[in-house]
Amino acid sequence: MSKTDGSAGEATIMGTFRAALQESTQVQQRISEQDIVALTQLVKQLIATLSSGGKILLFGNGGSAADAQHVAAELVGRYRLDRAALPAIALTTDSSILTSIGNDVAYEHIFARQVQALARPGDVVVGISTSGQSENVLNGIRAAKSLNLVTIGFTGADGGQLRSLVDFCFCAPANRTDRIQEAHIVVWHAICENLERELFGP
CA–CA gap between residue 29 and residue 188 (Å, rounded): 16
State residue 202's pLDDT score. Answer: 73
Residues 6+ apart with CB under 8 A from 105: 113
Distances in Å between the alpha carbon of 52 and those of 5, 124, 145? 59, 12, 20
pTM assigned to the model: 0.94
**In 10 A of CB 111, how many CB atoms?**
32
Q: What angle do CA 164, 102, 68 make, to 5 degrees?
A: 50
Instruction: Tell me how far apart the 2 most distant CA atoms of the chain are, in Å.
Output: 64
Options 3.40.50.10490, 2.60.40.1930, 3.30.56.10, 3.40.50.300; CATH of 33-200: 3.40.50.10490
Exposed / middle / buried, residue 178 (Cβ in 10 Å: 0-12, 13-18, 19+): middle
Task: List the beta strands (DSSP E) in the chain.
Answer: 56-60, 88-90, 124-128, 150-156, 168-172
**In 10 A of CB 70, how many CB atoms?**
17
Q: How far is CA 76 from the centre of its chain?
A: 15
Give the domain ranges of the chain.
33-200
Residues 6+ apart with CB under 8 A from 46: 56, 124, 191, 195
Which residues of the chain carry a pLDDT beneath 50? 1
3-state helix, strand, coil in the chain (%, to 5): 55, 10, 30
State residue 1's pLDDT score. Answer: 47
Residue 31 and residue 173 in contact, taking contact as beta carbons nearer than 8 Å: yes
